[in-house]
Each structure stands twice: as structure tokens, then as C-alpha cells.
Chain A
Amino acid sequence: MREYVNANEALREDDHGTVTAAIRLAVEDGCRKVVLPRYNARTKEMKWTFSKAIELPSDFTLVLDNCFLEQAKGSYDHLITNERSHDDAYMNDPANEAKNIAVLGEGNVILSGGEHNHLLEKTGRKYGLPSMWYQPILFWRNVNGLRVENLHFQHQRWWAVTHIMTRNAVLKNLDFYAIPHVPNLDGIDLRIGCSQFHIENITGRTGDDVVAFTALKGRGEVSMMIPGRDTDIHDVTVKNVKGDANTCYPLRLLNHDGNRIYNIDVDTIMDSSDPASGVRSGAALSIGSPFYFSKSQAVMGDTRDIRVKNVYSRGNQAVILNHVLQDTTISNVHTFSDNVNGIYTMPDGCELENVTVDHLYFAGENAGAAVCMQKVKGTLEVRHLEDGA
């Protein structure tokens, strides 16, 4: 058995054909590992271009070695996904859960959305265009055991790295760069049914949330549900999210429609947006919203057991708490001179049960308040406040 198959050993008519053939060779050999090198021997360029997604089988490792991958101009598909990820009948069978897939960057690896294909949320599934679910650069559906490490993403066309009904995953050392010329250029999205994730060292600049946990049922998620599997987002650890979320949030937690978010541990969120640029994050952390539901809003108990520590914001607020929240602690929260408020709630208000903010440092140099909340049911306990105002 070989150590791996080099993609240049399996040249075909296009890059998708080449890599697919290399994957087949690796499966037949038993090594189940393909290395995609920097040099593309077919085109003689330092670039790989894909109009169709690389589909990875279970128990497989794809190593990207200092290479540049790009979604082809005018294409409507991912760069990388698990096998048959858009075959609903196949994917929604629990027995077809994909397992143990790794995409590992070696050195300096860039995955690019290339030139935008004009597929937007308002045009998805219209005018002959496909669903937006084909837009992410990496798309993982019904995977158990996933590693994605050491990659730079540029110019994503929508949510760059998207997970649905996926569990036991490690996402590490992922960096983003997006110019927000179209909406919703998130970095990492966990949608319904994602659990047991470890997310670490997420950096860069996105066109929307850097990391979003969104347990909703209004974007086609219903067709991706798997019988017998829960649709909650839970048991996730997040460490070191340091990014500029355009006007949105480095970390957002949002759930409705009977889906819950719970057992989330977050250590260090740094909002690196630059107020001097005129565009800054809405907040470093946002939990909940009265909007975005399809069938029913979240109720008390649906968003709970969240522990966040070490929050540094340069945005309009440091932390936004909306709608409902239970059994949550947020500690060591720092604002910058340009923050308007420390802890904030949108005009629709919120209901809180056993929610504590501990050690809040509010710079207070703008008109605003360390705690600016309205229509609050329940209480927010704030301990150790240093208010610069």
C-alpha cells in the first residue's frame, strides 16, 4: 500500500476528473489519501479550477499542499464536499452517514470562490438557477468524523464552510478574506443537527458572521433532516475567534423552530474590526434574535447552558442578548473606545433566566451605556463593572 496518490498521476480532461480519478486510485490502493500539489501538470499552472465539486468518500484524507483552488467562473458547485451530499434520498438515510473525512492544508493553501456567479439568496432556485446550498466552498452534510485544518479562504460566494447534520468535527486554523459585495459571506456555519465540534483559531475578515451557529428551518434545512437525529446544535467548544465580521458578528448563536442550542463553551472572541474604517462589527457576540423563524420562535429553555469568556469588542456593542436565554455566563468582556454599548438588547427585548455577566469593562467614550437593555423579562446579573463613562 502506498503512502498516498499524487493527483498529477491521474490526469484527465479537467481538474475535477483528475482529482476524482486520483481518489478512485487511492481507494483501490487502500491508502485512501490524495495529495493535491501546488503544480497542476495538466494545465502547467499553479492553480486548480473546479466547475464541479471534489466529492470525498468516507475514511479519506485529502491533503492540499501549498496549492490554490478556485471555484470556476460561472460554476454552481462547491470546491469540496462529501460524496452524494446533494442526493437527498441517499443522504437522509442514517445508514449512509459519511465517516472520517479530513481536508488538511500543508503550508500556504488558498481556497477561492473566484469570480462571483451571481447566485444570490433572492435568485436561488429561480430563473433556472440552482439552490444556494451549492454555493459554499466546503459543504459537509451528514458526516460523522471530520477534520478541516490550516486553510485560507478567499472571496466566498456565500457561507464559506457549511455543516448540516454533522458531528464530531474539528475545524482549526481557518482564515477568511471576503469583500462584502454581496450579502451573507459568512465564514463558518453550523446549521441544524451539528454537535461535538471543536473550533479553534478562526481568523480574518468575512462579509457576515465569522462563525455562526444557526439552528433554523427556513432555508431548505427541512429537506436535509435525517430521521431519528436531533436538529439541535450542541456540545461545541470554540477557542480563539479573532475576526472582522463586516457589520455582523464574530460569533453568532441563533435558533428557532423547535431547534435548540445548548452546551456551548467559548473561550476568547476578539472582534478585530476597525472603527476607523467606518465599518465595524455589530458586536463581538450575538445570542438569539426575534427574527429568522419559519414556524415558531424559540422558547425559554431552547437556548441555554452557554459559557463564554474573554470577549473583546470594537463593534457597536460588545454583546447582544436577544429573545430568550437561560443558564448562561459571559465573563471578562471588554469594549473599545468606539463601542456604543456594552451589553445590549434589540428593541423587541428579551427573556432571561439565570444569566450572568461577570467582569464587564466598558470604555464609555461614546454616548451609550454599559448595559442598554429594554423590555427585559427576568434579570441580568452583572458583577464587577468598570464603567469608564
Chain B
Amino acid sequence: MEITKLVGYTRPEGFPGKSDAVKIQKALNEAESEDVRKVVFHGQYTVDSTLYIPTQTELVFEAGTVLTYVGKGPLFTNRVANEPDKASWSFEDSLIYLKGAPGALLTGDLSFYHARYVVLEQLEIEGNVSFEFCREVRMEDDVISSPATALTVSRGCNNFILQRLTLKGGEAAVRIDASLSKGPYVTGKDADVHELIFKDSVLDGDPGIRMCANETDGIFNVQIDHLKVSGDGIVIGEGSALPKERFFNLTAQAIETEKTAVVLKNETKHCFFPEQEK
């Protein structure tokens, strides 16, 4: 409708529905069908089922907005995550932008799968945020807390910029795990985790970051810099010994912790851990 296009966004309040989840999904779908590509949230919402974000969509959570999730699975995921027959290169979702504001809160998990150009900015989230087979991701100025792990970067993820995050986990605050899989393997993508930049953040978890790999898929080209961590800083590897090439070209510097900055449970290759050199 012309009016929707002129306004430039949809709002859940503009749609009928027996629940907030129905209204919100209609707002997302209408933003796509009218090609306005933006949904604005304001107020209190109770969501009882997963919401699917179409490709090329911005979600704006205005100041004071609260989404409380009472359903199963994640609160938000991208659409292709729900379409297992699209687990190949050409069906990648892209340009998904979630922007928060002071006082805006999402309670529930956010799960992104097979997506490119994902931005999470100024969000407060009570739940886990996870990525699988995602690339070109930027997270800045977010606060995430979870009884388990706050942030999970699993197989097939690359080219991430993570800065000024405050993350609290009941176990590790962050898990970077090339062996971890939830969805189907995406044909045409590689499963390694690489090209990650993670800086200037506060991690409340033990450890702050847990890094895991497997026999075939590893983690490389990672720059971790200036973290304040309550537990051990970074733990690399788990029980079984993997080839050192699975943890390659990793840097962890300026890790502030009263425990151990870097704990190596696996051999690594060409890694720079200056705290360990002292």
C-alpha cells in the first residue's frame, strides 16, 4: 500500500491477531511484501512462538521496548533457518539489521543461520545469541546474558567484528566452536571459523571464551584484544588432542583476568599470546 511505503516501516500494532507473535510476524511479512524492509517496535510484547526475519530487513526496537518470550526455540531467527531445503550457497539470507535503544530488552534466544551482513547494535538480550554458517557479522554495544552461553559462533562462520560487548554466561560467556552444528550443512560453504575480530569487551563467564574444533574443521585468523574477564580468559581445545592446525593464527592480547589469560588444552600454531610469554 502506498501509505505503508510512504511511512517507510510497519508496526506490529498495525495488524490484527490473537497474539503479539501473530501481529509481529504479519508486520515482518508485510515489510517484505511492500518492500519497505523495516519494522519498528515500541512498547511491551509477549511472544509465544519463534519469529522469522525475512532477508533484507531492519528491526528497530525503540527505547523502552520489551519483548518477552514464552515460547520454545529462539525468539528470532532468519527465515532460511526454517527452510532446510535451502541449505545451499545461493539461498543465503542477507542484510539483517537489529537495532536497539536505551531500555529496549529482548528476552529470548536469537539464532542466525546461513546469513550474510547481520548487524546487532545497541541491543540488550536475555538469552543466547548464536550464529552458524554466517558471514560479515557486526555486533557492537550489545549486552547479552544467558544462564548458559551468551554468544555462540559455530561452524561455517567468518568475517565477524565484535566490539564493546558485555556478555554474561552461566558457563562460558562465548563459545567459538567449529565443531558445533545445529542446522544442516550448507553446500558451498566451508565449516571453518575464521576472520574474527573481538575487542574491547567485558565477559562474565568461566571461561570468557571457549574455543573448540574437530579433526577436520578449525579456527584461524582470530584477533582478540582487550577483554576484561571474570574467569579464565580463553580456553583453547577440549579433551581430545587435535592437530595444531585446527587452532591457527590466533591472537589474544590484553586479556585482563585474575585467573589465567589463556589456557591451552590443545596444541596451536602461530598463535600470539603475549600474556603467556611474560
Which B residues, 260 to 278, have Cβ-Cβ distances below 8 Å to chain A?
A: 269-272
Interface mask (B22-64 → A, CB under 8 Å = 1, otherwise 0): 0000000000000111100000000000000000101010000
Which B residues, 120 to 159, have Cβ-Cβ distances below 8 Å to chain A?
A: 136, 138, 158-159
Whether the pair A39, B8 counts as a contact (CB closer than 8 A) is yes
Q: Residue A108 contacts which of B56, B138, B220 (CB distance < 8 angstroms)?
A: B56
Q: Residue A173 contacts which of B8, B138, B220 (CB distance < 8 angstroms)?
A: B138
Q: Decide if B223 is an interface residue (CB 8 Å cutoff).
A: yes
Tell me whether A242 and B161 are in contact in the complex, defined as CB-CB below 8 angstroms, given that A107-B97, A361-B272 are known contacts: yes
Tell me whether A8 and B6 are in contact in the complex, defined as CB-CB below 8 angstroms, given that A108-B58, A201-B138, A361-B249 are known contacts: yes
Whether the pair A38, B223 counts as a contact (CB closer than 8 A) is no
Whole-angstrom CA separation of A247 from B38 in the bound complex: 37
Q: Decide if A195 is an interface residue (CB 8 Å cutoff).
A: no
Q: Which residue of A lies closest to B136 (CB)?
A: A203
Q: Decide if A272 is an interface residue (CB 8 Å cutoff).
A: yes
Tell me whether A334 and B270 are in contact in the complex, defined as CB-CB below 8 angstroms, given that A108-B58, A242-B195 are known contacts: yes
Whole-angstrom CA separation of A332 from B249 in the bound complex: 10
Whole-angstrom CA separation of A249 from B263 in the bound complex: 35
Tell me whether A65 and B8 are in contact in the complex, defined as CB-CB below 8 angstroms, given that A39-B36, A46-B35, A272-B159 are known contacts: yes
Whole-angstrom CA separation of A175 from B161 in the bound complex: 12
Residues of B within 8 A of A39 (CB): 5-6, 8, 36
Whether the pair A107, B195 counts as a contact (CB closer than 8 A) is no
Interface mask (A295-311 → B, CB under 8 Å = 1, otherwise 0): 00000000000000010
Q: Decide if B68 is an interface residue (CB 8 Å cutoff).
A: no
Which B residues, 86 to 108, have Cβ-Cβ distances below 8 Å to chain A?
A: 95, 97, 99
Whole-angstrom CA separation of A387 from B269 in the bound complex: 11
Tell me whether A107 and B58 are in contact in the complex, defined as CB-CB below 8 angstroms, given that A38-B38, A39-B6 are known contacts: yes
Interface mask (A39-69 → B, CB under 8 Å = 1, otherwise 0): 1010010100000000000000000011000
Q: Decide if B257 is an interface residue (CB 8 Å cutoff).
A: no
A364 to chain B: closest CB distance in Å? 10
Q: Decide if B185 is an interface residue (CB 8 Å cutoff).
A: no
Interface size on B, residues (CB 8 A): 32
Whole-angstrom CA separation of A41 from B117 in the bound complex: 28
Whole-angstrom CA separation of A175 from B97 in the bound complex: 14
Residues of B within 8 A of A106 (CB): 58
Q: Decide if B251 is an interface residue (CB 8 Å cutoff).
A: yes
Q: Which residue of B lies closest to A361 (CB)?
A: B270
Whether the pair A312, B249 counts as a contact (CB closer than 8 A) is yes
Q: Residue A312 contacts which of B99, B221, B269 (CB distance < 8 angstroms)?
A: B221
Interface mask (A359-389 → B, CB under 8 Å = 1, otherwise 0): 1010100000000000000000000001010
Whether the pair A66, B58 counts as a contact (CB closer than 8 A) is yes
The binding surface of chain A is classed by DSSP as: strand
Whether the pair A38, B37 counts as a contact (CB closer than 8 A) is yes
Residues of B within 8 A of A44 (CB): 5
Q: Decide if A270 is an interface residue (CB 8 Å cutoff).
A: yes
Q: Decide if A240 is an interface residue (CB 8 Å cutoff).
A: yes
Whether the pair B138, A312 counts as a contact (CB closer than 8 A) is no
Q: Residue A310 contacts which of B220, B225, B270 (CB distance < 8 angstroms)?
A: B225
Tell me whether A108 and B197 are in contact in the complex, defined as CB-CB below 8 angstroms, given that A66-B58, A173-B138, A336-B249 are known contacts: no
Residues of B within 8 A of A312 (CB): 195, 221, 223, 249
Whether the pair A66, B117 counts as a contact (CB closer than 8 A) is no
A sample of 29 cross-chain residue pairs with beta-carbon separation below 8 angstroms, ordered by A number, consists of A37-B8, A38-B5, A38-B35, A39-B36, A46-B5, A46-B35, A66-B36, A66-B58, A107-B38, A108-B37, A108-B117, A152-B117, A173-B138, A203-B159, A203-B161, A267-B225, A268-B197, A268-B223, A268-B225, A270-B221, A272-B158, A310-B223, A310-B251, A312-B223, A332-B272, A334-B249, A336-B249, A363-B270, A388-B269
Given contacts A46-B35, A108-B95, 14 further A-B contacts (CB under 8 A): A41-B5, A107-B58, A173-B138, A175-B117, A203-B136, A203-B159, A268-B223, A310-B223, A312-B221, A312-B249, A334-B272, A361-B249, A361-B270, A361-B271
- Which B residues have a C-beta under 8 Å from some C-beta of A? 5-6, 8, 35-38, 56, 58, 60, 95, 97, 99, 117, 136, 138, 158-159, 161, 195, 197, 220-221, 223, 225, 249, 251, 253, 269-272
